[in-house]
Amino acid sequence: MASILAAEAQLAPVEWRESASTADSRLHQLAPYIGKLKPIIARQLLREFTAHNEIVLDCFSGSGTVPLEAVILGRRVLAFDTNPYAVTLTKAKLEPPPTLDLANEQLVLRLAASEKRPRYAEESIPDWVRKFFHPETLQQTLRFADECLEHDDPFLLACLLSILHHQRPGFLSYPSSHLVPYLRDRKFPRVEYPEMYAERALQPRLEAKLRRAYKDSFLIEPDRVMKVDQVGVADLKLECEVDAIVTSPPYMNALDYVRDNRLRMWFLDRSTADYSPEPTEKQADSDAITAAFARNALKYLRSGGHCVLVIGEKVSRKRVTTHPAERMFAKLVTEFPALQLKHVIEDEIPDVRRSRRSGAATKRELILVLQKA
Ligand SMILES: C[S@@+](CC[C@H](N)C(=O)[O-])C[C@H]1O[C@@H](n2cnc3c(N)ncnc32)[C@H](O)[C@@H]1O
C-alpha cells in the first residue's frame, strides 16, 4: 500500500471478522451475490457517518446490503446498479410482501398464471442453459420468471433466482454449484444419482423458500425507499442532494458480476444468449467508473457530507503492487479537489467470501471515509 493511505490506516473492529451476526436481518440471505458486503460493516459505517432520516446513496448497490441496513436504521435510500440481478435483489429486499401469508397468496396467483402461458420451444433455449435443468422444470421456471417480469414482482423473482442452481434437493437445477453456476455432473454422475436428474417441481420449492425467508419478522417502511433502478454511474442523474454516499465500487480484476451470475442473468434478460465471455479492459473500465463516480455521484453530495467507499484489493496471479484504493483516491481528488480524506480502515476478507474455483479473489479491502469540504 502506498504512502497516504498506509499512514492513515486503522484496523477494522474485530467483530467485522465474525462470519455473521444474529443482529443481521434474514433478508440479507435472500439470495447469493458475489462480493457482497457484510451487513455488520454496512451497519456500523452507516451508524457512524449518517444520521436518522438522512438520504444515503449507494450507486453500486449489488445485492442491496447498504440500502437494506440504511432503511432498517431509518435512513432514506437511493440505490442503483447496472446489473439486473443486483437491482432485482435490492428491490426485493427493500419491498418484500409484509407477511408470509401475503407472499404465499402472491405466489399462488403467479403460479396459476404462469401455467397458462405458452410453452417454450426447446430449440429456442440456449444449449448451455438446457444443460442445467430437467426439461419440465425449465419450462415451469421460465414461465414463472416471465410472469414475475411482466408484473414487476422483484420479490418472487429474487426467490426464484435464489433457488435456481445448487445440488441440494430444494433447488431447481441438476447438481451444480450455488454462487457461480458450474454443473457438478462429474462429481454426481447421472447413472449413480438418477434422483438428482429427475424433474424438480417448482411450487413446493418456492413455498419452502418463502418459509425460510419469513422465519423472522421484518418491517420495512416503504417511504424510506426513494428510488432503486438499473442505472450505471455514467448515466446517474438525481433530483436532490444526498447527505451521504456509502458504497462499494466493483472489484475490478477479481470478480465479474455478469459472467459469474450468467444463469440468473439469462433468466432476467434473454436478449444476450450467453453471458460467459469476460470483459477485457478492466483497468480502463475501473478508471472510467471512478471518473464517472466523481462527476455524477459526488456532485450530489451536500457540503460536509461523507462519502464512504469500501474498495476491494486487486488480486492477480502476478504480485500485487498497489491497492486499487490508492489509484481511485488519487483520481477522485484530482477530479474533485474539495474532497478530504478523514479515515482509512483496513479489513481482511475471510476466505468464505472468495468466489472463484481458481482461487483468485479479493483478499483485503480498504474503507476510505472522505468528506466534502
Ligand atoms: C462490490 S459490488 C457491490 C456489492 C454490494 N455492496 C453488496 O453488498 O452486495 C459492485 C457492484 O457494482 C456494479 N457495477 C459495476 N459497474 C457499474 C457501473 N458502471 N455503474 C453502476 N454499477 C456498476 C456491479 O454490478 C456490482 O453489483
CATH value at residue 59: 3.40.50.150
C-alpha grid cell, residue 140: 415451469
**pLDDT for 283 beyond 90:** no
Band (pLDDT 50/70/90 cuts) for residue 5 is confident
Whether residue 153 lies inside any domain: the answer is yes
Q: Is the CB of 43 under 6 A from ligand 1?
A: no
Please identify, by atom number, the ligand 1 atom nearest to the C-alpha of residue 86: 27
Whether residue 269 lies inside any domain: the answer is no
Counting ligand 1 atoms within 8 A of each CB, the residue from 257, 286, 349 with the most, and so the one to mutate, is 257
**pLDDT for 23 beyond 90:** no
Q: Is the CB of 286 under 6 A from ligand 1?
A: no
**Do 19 and 77 reside in the same domain of the chain?**
yes
**Do 84 and 151 reside in the same domain of the chain?**
no
Q: Which of 178, 194, 213 is the last residue of a domain?
A: 213
Per-residue pLDDT tens over the stretch 312-323: 875 555 555 678
Q: Is the CB of 54 under 6 A from ligand 1?
A: no
Q: Single out the residue of 263, 292, 267 nearest to residue 275, CA to CA.
A: 263
Residue with the three cell numbers 446517474: 236
Taking a C-beta distance cutoff of 8 angstroms, is the pair 29, 23 a contact?
A: no
Whether residue 2 lies inside any domain: the answer is no
**Do 197 and 239 reside in the same domain of the chain?**
no
**Do 122 and 71 reside in the same domain of the chain?**
no
Please identify, by atom number, the ligand 1 atom nearest to the C-alpha of residue 33: 9
Closest protein CA for atom 10 of ligand 1: 250
Compute, in angstroms, the gap from residue 108 CA to the centroid of ligand 1: 33
Closest protein CA for atom 19 of ligand 1: 232
Q: Is the CB of 289 under 6 A from ligand 1?
A: yes
Per-residue pLDDT tens over the stretch 119-131: 999 999 999 999 9
**Do 349 and 283 reside in the same domain of the chain?**
yes
Phi-psi region of 16 (alpha: psi -120 to 50; beta: other; left: phi over 0): alpha
Predicted pLDDT at 349: 64
81 - beta bridge partners?
230
Predicted pLDDT at 3: 55
Whole-angstrom Cα distance, residue 3 to residue 326? 9
Q: Single out the residue of 66, 87, 127, 136 nearest to residue 269, CA to CA.
A: 87
Whether residue 281 lies inside any domain: the answer is yes
Per-residue pLDDT tens over the stretch 123-174: 999 999 999 999 999 999 999 999 999 999 999 999 999 999 999 999 999 9
**Do 367 and 233 reside in the same domain of the chain?**
yes
Q: How many CB atoms lie within 10 A of CB 62?
A: 25
Predicted pLDDT at 216: 83
Please state, for a pLDDT cut of 90, what percent of the chain lies above it: 71
Predicted pLDDT at 123: 95
**pLDDT for 278 beyond 90:** no
Write the CA distances from 152 to 41, 86, 165, 308, 350, integer angstroms: 31, 15, 22, 32, 36
Predicted pLDDT at 183: 95
Counting ligand 1 atoms within 8 A of each CB, the residue from 63, 81, 228, 314 with the most, and so the one to mutate, is 81
Whole-angstrom Cα distance, residue 281 to residue 112? 45
Q: Is the CB of 324 under 6 A from ligand 1?
A: no
First to last CA, the chain: 26
Whether residue 268 lies inside any domain: the answer is no
**Do 304 and 348 reside in the same domain of the chain?**
yes
Compute, in angstroms, the gap from residue 183 CA to the centroid of ligand 1: 26
Predicted pLDDT at 274: 86
Alpha carbon of residue 286 to chain centroid: 18
Taking a C-beta distance cutoff of 8 angstroms, is the pair 363, 313 a contact?
A: yes
Sequence-ordered list of residues with C-beta below 8 angstroms from that of 196, at least 6 positions apart, any chain = 167, 174, 175, 188, 190
**Do 37 and 57 reside in the same domain of the chain?**
yes
**Do 230 and 90 reside in the same domain of the chain?**
yes
Whole-angstrom Cα distance, residue 169 to residue 133? 13
Q: Is the CB of 200 under 6 A from ligand 1?
A: no
Band (pLDDT 50/70/90 cuts) for residue 12 is confident
Whole-angstrom Cα distance, residue 318 to residue 31? 33
Q: How many domains does the chain have?
A: 2
Band (pLDDT 50/70/90 cuts) for residue 178 is very high
Query: Strand 225-230 to strand 339-348: parallel, antiparallel, or no bridges (unpaired)?
Result: unpaired
**Do 208 and 296 reside in the same domain of the chain?**
no
Q: Is the CB of 139 under 6 A from ligand 1?
A: no
Identify which has the larger pLDDT, 295 or 316. Answer: 295
Whether residue 20 lies inside any domain: the answer is yes
Compute, in angstroms, the gap from residue 188 CA to the centroid of ligand 1: 34
Please provide residue 28's backbone torsions phi and psi, each rounded to the nearest 5 degrees.
-60, -25
Angle between the 65-72 and 39-49 helix axes, to the nearest 10 degrees?
Answer: 50
Whole-angstrom Cα distance, residue 135 to residue 304? 57
Identify which has the larger pLDDT, 61 or 251. Answer: 61
Q: Which domain covers residue 358, as residue numbers? A: 10-94+224-263+275-372
Q: Is the CB of 86 under 6 A from ligand 1?
A: yes
**Do 125 and 232 reside in the same domain of the chain?**
no
DSSP for 125-185 reads: S-HHHHTTS-HHHHHHHHHHHHHHHHTT-HHHHHHHHHTSS-SSTTSSSSSB-SSS--B-T
Whether residue 155 lies inside any domain: the answer is yes
Whole-angstrom Cα distance, residue 212 to residue 167? 18
> Considering only 73-87, 139-153, 254-268, 269-283, which range has the smallest mean pLDDT?
269-283
Whole-angstrom Cα distance, residue 211 to residue 159? 11
Closest protein CA for atom 4 of ligand 1: 62
Whether residue 187 lies inside any domain: the answer is yes
Q: Is the CB of 41 under 6 A from ligand 1?
A: no
**Do 237 and 358 reside in the same domain of the chain?**
yes
Per-residue pLDDT tens over the stretch 341-366: 999 998 876 544 444 444 444 467 88
Whole-angstrom Cα distance, residue 38 to residue 17? 9
